[in-house]
């Protein structure tokens, strides 16, 4: 891509962020306050999760926030952003799905959203649910996908106050040693990793469910050899992510569809802030869960980025399950290993195991399956367990002798180092909120982030607009 092409792409993405500010009116709720904002009313924030999403770092076998609180995130998988957008209204758009997944009034309390990026959807969904051959999508297609589908999804997570896990979602039968695959993965992470390098709410998942030839069986020497091949193959991919986004946590998979998690402690990758993935459904061969996924969690951070069970009985035997059996097994596991994070698969009415009932070939997102009901209850039980705190802002609080360079005449009425009065009339009112709302992404506001970081997360964004609005 030429320098001109990259400049044009940046311009387009800036326009997309402006659109997201407009979407904020909807996310903030349908409040009154007519005329409070120049483009419309900024409603109540009651529907927003609003949790802090500080940067996470690894400490032994746990993840911690900047205040050294142990953090375990629990949330949901959504469908691929492009597929969601292009199938709407048969399904919800990706932004509407994320809004629903983070709406306690609808029974959902997701703290993290896993966003699976399917190669076939990067290329062209076109009613095909199969697997795209490696190397089939182009740089231009990937750039378009990021701008039009992935960026809005990641921003929606930020606006809702939840973490976003960007997951390169290769799966099924592709051998991870395929030469064409190597080129594809490198292109993907060279493009995506720098895109969210400074986004503290973003986590990367390097490769979904590695599958390699001669993977062996759990516990034998052949499985260890497969793990060694996987590490040799994927370490250069991880290096690309770490070089381009050194502060972002990265979730690394293991062979055999992320079920050889037990090998992670003995064959760790080289890198910082690494976690290791586990995927399991109703597999009888991977019980008790503590033995297969809890034991490695005693040594390395484990993130169960896919788990679940189909209570409709319409899936394969290794997925079908019940609340009384599999549901209780998962509940017990996550209570015993409360430092293990998770994202249940999947918030959908057509992918398995479904959380919503399909009705007349679609879903109104109102009738839950038994698994959907269990998931809501599970997420609610985790709302106060190992949650991230406010942390230490990454932006140094301003010296009280300093003043912002934008806007002219802004004042700090209460002397706390934050400049609530953007209009300079020595009072806090709705025009001040409007000024911040209209200029959140501007260079001037970003250059003065320390003075307008009202939610204390180290940057200035729509959450700060909300925080300021609530003090008027």
Q: Looking at the structure, do residues 369 and 398 belong to the same domain, yes or no?
A: no
pTM of the model: 0.75
Last residue of a domain, which of 349, 381, 413? 381
- Note the pLDDT tens digit of each residue in 258-294: 999 999 999 999 999 999 999 999 999 999 999 999 9
Question: Is there a domain that residue 455 lies in?
Answer: yes
Q: Looking at the structure, do residues 375 and 398 belong to the same domain, yes or no?
A: no
445 CB-near residues (< 8 Å, 6+ apart): 406, 436, 439, 452, 460
Q: Looking at the structure, do residues 154 and 282 belong to the same domain, yes or no?
A: yes
Q: Note the pLDDT of residue 459.
A: 80
Beta strand 70-71 with 74-77 is unpaired
Last residue of a domain, which of 381, 414, 436? 381
Q: Looking at the structure, do residues 244 and 374 belong to the same domain, yes or no?
A: yes
- Note the pLDDT tens digit of each residue in 295-324: 999 999 999 999 999 999 999 999 999 999
Q: Looking at the structure, do residues 128 and 64 belong to the same domain, yes or no?
A: yes
CA 23 to chain centre: 19
Residue 422: which domain range?
394-472
Q: Looking at the structure, do residues 195 and 323 belong to the same domain, yes or no?
A: yes
Tell me how many domains the chain contains: 2
Q: Looking at the structure, do residues 120 and 92 belong to the same domain, yes or no?
A: yes
Residue position matching structure tokens 């231009």: 140
Q: For the chain, which residues score pLDDT lower than 70?
A: 1-50, 126-129, 390-401
Q: Looking at the structure, do residues 183 and 265 belong to the same domain, yes or no?
A: yes
Q: Looking at the structure, do residues 218 and 362 belong to the same domain, yes or no?
A: yes
Q: Looking at the structure, do residues 406 and 319 belong to the same domain, yes or no?
A: no
Question: Is there a domain that residue 20 lies in?
Answer: no
Q: Looking at the structure, do residues 98 and 218 belong to the same domain, yes or no?
A: yes
Q: How many Cβ atoms are within 10 Å of 266's Cβ, its own excluded?
A: 11
Last residue of a domain, which of 352, 381, 410? 381
For residues 310 and 322, what is the distance between their CA atoms, to the nearest angstrom? 7
Q: Looking at the structure, do residues 330 and 263 belong to the same domain, yes or no?
A: yes
Question: Is there a domain that residue 307 lies in?
Answer: yes
Q: At 238, which CATH number?
A: 3.20.20.80
């Amino acid at each position: 891509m030429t320098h001109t092409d990259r400049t044009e792409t940046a311009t387009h993405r800036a326009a997309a962020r402006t659109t997201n500010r407009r979407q904020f009116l909807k996310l903030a709720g349908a409040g009154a306050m007519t005329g409070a904002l120049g483009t419309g009313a900024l409603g109540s924030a009651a529907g927003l999760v609003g949790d802090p999403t500080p940067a996470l770092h690894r400490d032994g076998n746990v993840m911690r926030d900047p205040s050294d609180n142990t953090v375990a995130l629990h949330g949901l998988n959504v469908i691929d952003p492009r597929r969601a957008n292009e199938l709407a209204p048969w399904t919800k758009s990706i932004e509407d799905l994320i809004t629903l997944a983070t709406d306690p009034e609808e029974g959902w309390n997701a703290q993290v959203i896993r966003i699976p990026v399917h190669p076939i959807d990067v290329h062209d969904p076109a009613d095909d649910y199969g697997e795209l051959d490696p190397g089939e999508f182009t740089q231009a297609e990937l750039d378009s996908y990021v701008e039009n589908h992935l960026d809005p999804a990641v921003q929606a997570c930020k606006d809702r106050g939840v973490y976003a896990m960007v997951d390169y979602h290769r799966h099924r039968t592709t051998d991870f040693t395929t030469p064409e695959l190597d080129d594809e993965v490198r292109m993907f992470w060279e493009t995506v990793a720098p895109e969210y390098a400074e986004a503290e709410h973003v986590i990367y998942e390097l490769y979904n469910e590695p599958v390699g030839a001669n993977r062996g069986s759990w516990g034998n020497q052949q499985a260890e050899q497969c793990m060694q091949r996987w590490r040799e193959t994927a370490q250069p991919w991880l290096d690309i992510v770490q070089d381009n986004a050194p502060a972002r946590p990265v979730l690394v998979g293991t062979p055999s569809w992320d079920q050889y998690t037990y090998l992670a402690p003995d064959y760790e990758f080289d890198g910082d802030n690494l976690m290791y993935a586990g995927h399991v459904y109703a597999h009888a061969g991977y019980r008790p869960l503590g033995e297969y996924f809890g034991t490695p969690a005693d040594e390395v951070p484990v993130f169960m980025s896919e788990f679940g069970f189909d209570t409709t009985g319409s899936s394969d035997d290794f997925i079908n399950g019940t609340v009384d059996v599999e549901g209780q097994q998962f509940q017990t596991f996550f209570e015993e290993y409360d430092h293990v994070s998770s994202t249940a698969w999947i918030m959908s009415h057509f992918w398995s195991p479904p959380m919503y009932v399909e009705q007349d070939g679609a879903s109104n997102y109102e009738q839950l399956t038994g698994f959907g009901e269990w998931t809501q209850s599970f997420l609610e039980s985790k709302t106060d367990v190992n949650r991230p705190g406010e942390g230490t802002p990454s932006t140094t609080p301003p010296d009280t002798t300093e003043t912002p360079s934008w806007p002219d005449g802004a004042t700090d009425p209460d002397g706390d180092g934050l400049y609530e009065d953007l209009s300079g009339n020595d009072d806090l009112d709705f025009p001040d909120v409007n000024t911040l709302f209209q200029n959140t992404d501007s260079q001037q506001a970003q250059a003065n982030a320390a003075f307008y970081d009202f939610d204390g997360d180290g940057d200035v964004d729509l959450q700060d607009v909300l925080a300021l609005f609530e003090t008027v």
